[in-house]
Structure 1
């Protein structure tokens, strides 16, 4: 990147490319699953995402919140709660958006055409969004391969492998990028249920943007809420790009309540970790090899993963498969005893 003012200068417009790529397959598409397996029993069990199956309880909301524009004070209250939750020194270092996907789509437009290295395999929207904006994008297997990049992107913990990069290693990369006006993006979508020391968000180094997802850990993905954390000038610029009312009034209110409830998060983290161990046992009993993941999802290998996914589909259970890694399957956590029993039975069926 050659912008001498780094990301605090006037917006540099990238070369636009036509969006001709095929849509990326994601988890959660039950419409497609029902169409493919019309005879599957209802209700479907969706294990194709890494979303907490037991969500934060939605507080009572005043009726007026649906009929008026969000107030600035409500956004400030959310940012203050996010700063406290993520241990960020100043709320001004945070920009809120309608989900981290919106931020992933925005960031490639904030820098000149650059060489981008993404640590992968990982969440494919990073690669798609930067490629669509005309950047030169490569996926690399380790950070040592990214030394010549202008922009480095790491999902930490990684989706779907669960690999965790130590914070000190990320700081080393950020320092090298800052020396040449580069940028490090750390996507911490699944880090809420890991130890706090795993996150770089509390003290992001220069030339670094940290993304935090709300909906996954709090089980409210439909709310659409996410955050970018960076030094104040960069966070201010991101907020300016979205303009006023970037987050809905209900999301501001619910997000603040959830982020201000450490007891709920602690109890949820303990439950998720226990269920992670339970899911590992269920998968291993069915002949799968658990490769990794996080407390919100598990990645497993099976020699006939494609056939196994089809068998589960016929039983009304949706899991995530990976065309680039045909022996991989990702499993989210079942929500209740019925879902656990149905999964165990379907895995062992013929």
Structure 2
């Protein structure tokens, strides 16, 4: 298991330090966020002056949006990813790979024996390990698991007193694949949700955990009080209740993802993913990242188990044109090498 701290997208400061320029000069496609974020409503000033209180409307809006009977709001799903390994004695943990690196790394840090498995093979671990972890759809591959398969694995894990942890950070674009609604019914099924990607509100640092009541109580006690500021609850409630915006956003993201896939395909580049990003395994991925960076475009690079790149969606037509030109010049340079 890799013991190096995972590297994440959204690290534009690192690109600027190496390649220069100001943040305004750059197109940051490294974090795979909705480039047309939810319009943040005005926040009542009183919310900045008091300790955050549990808001029943906020919880009800989240439960309705995610289809869950019960949810625990957390300060970004990352907070749950870091805390959950502390709720179990060290055991055997199987993680789908390639995937979001924090999962395996955090469990290994707390003494669990972590093994990594290809997406096609991860289901065979169900019922044989203490914790099974996957992202659906996966980040960065875009691999999607059928909900029926995930629920079958959850039952196999439950039969041995184990957990199935499903990270659905990108599931808003394919809600039919979500198993969030089952999390309170199947023992040991834990689902992580986040409004950061789909709503483009990563700065809220908000996430939700769906699971049986006993697990949610343990996690709540581990994380402590006042985790979600009142202003965040106010903004998130508006976003979660805005069905018209959500419908339009899904259509817009699907169209943008199709355009990005076509752009990559035209340059003979891999274009797997979901409706928030595209890319794939590519031997010269590091060279592609460097080339784009010289054009002040920042993409996400992965090195394990093989080189891979991931591009988020451009925000406007000038950004599309810059990306198209940069990709074309890379292919021209690569062809003449």
TM-score bucket of the superposed structures, by smaller chain: over 0.9
Check conservation: 1:156, 1:188, Cα contact below 8 A.
yes
Structure number having the greater helix percentage: 2
Q: Quick one: distance in 1 between partners of 2:225 and 2:126? A: 36
Aligned to 1:114: 91
> Structure 1 unaligned runs (5+)?
1-19
Note the C-alpha offset of 1:40: 8.4
Following superposition, the deviation at residue 237 of structure 1 comes to 2.4
Q: In the alignment, what sits opposite 1:27?
A: 9
| Residues in 1 aligned to 2:262 and 2:150: alpha-carbon distance in whole angstroms | 33
Contact 1:299 1:329 in 2 (8 A): yes
Match of 2:100 in 1: 123
CA positional deviation for 1:41: 9.1
Partner residue in 1 for 2:210: 229
1:71 aligns with 2:50: no
Is 1:185 matched with 2:162?
Answer: no
TM-score, scaled to structure 2: 0.92
1:132-188 CA deviation, whole Å, 9 max, x = no partner?
Answer: 001000111121144421110011111111111112211221112112211110100
Partner of 2:258: 277
With over 3 angstroms needed to count, the CA separation of the structure-2 counterparts of 1:281 and 1:40, relative to structure 1, is farther
State the distance in 1 between where 2:216 and 2:6 align: 28
Paired residues for 1:258-337 under 5 Å: 258-290=239-271, 292-337=272-317
In the alignment, is residue 56 of structure 1 matched against residue 35 of structure 2? no
Confirm whether residue 200 of structure 1 aligns to residue 179 of structure 2.
yes
Confirm or deny: 8 A CA contact 2:286 2:301 kept in the other structure.
yes
Q: Distance in 2 between matches of 1:326 and 1:35?
A: 26
1:310 aligned counterpart, secondary structure:
helix
Q: Name the CA distance, whole Å, in 2 between partners of 1:338 and 1:150.
A: 49
Distance in 2 (CA, whole Å) between partners of 1:41 and 1:229 is 37
Q: How do 1:85-124 and structure 2 match up within 5 A?
A: 85-88=65-68, 90=69, 93-124=70-101
Give me the whole-angstrom Cα distance separating, in 2, the residues matched to 1:41 and 1:253.
Answer: 29
1: CA distance between counterparts of 2:60 and 2:24? 42
Shift of 1:219: 0.3
Unaligned runs of 5+ in 2: none
Shift of 1:206: 1.5
When structure 1 is superposed on structure 2, of 165-174 and 319-328 the one drifting more is 319-328
User: CA RMSD, aligned part only?
Assistant: 1.7
Contact 1:40 1:313 in 2 (8 A): no
TM-score of the pair, normalised by structure 1: 0.89
Q: Which moved more, 1:327-336 or 1:297-306?
A: 297-306
Aligned equivalents of 2:159, 2:126: Cα separation in 1: 15
Q: Does 1:135 align with 2:109?
A: no
Give 3-state SS (helix, strand or coil) of 1:131's partner. Answer: helix
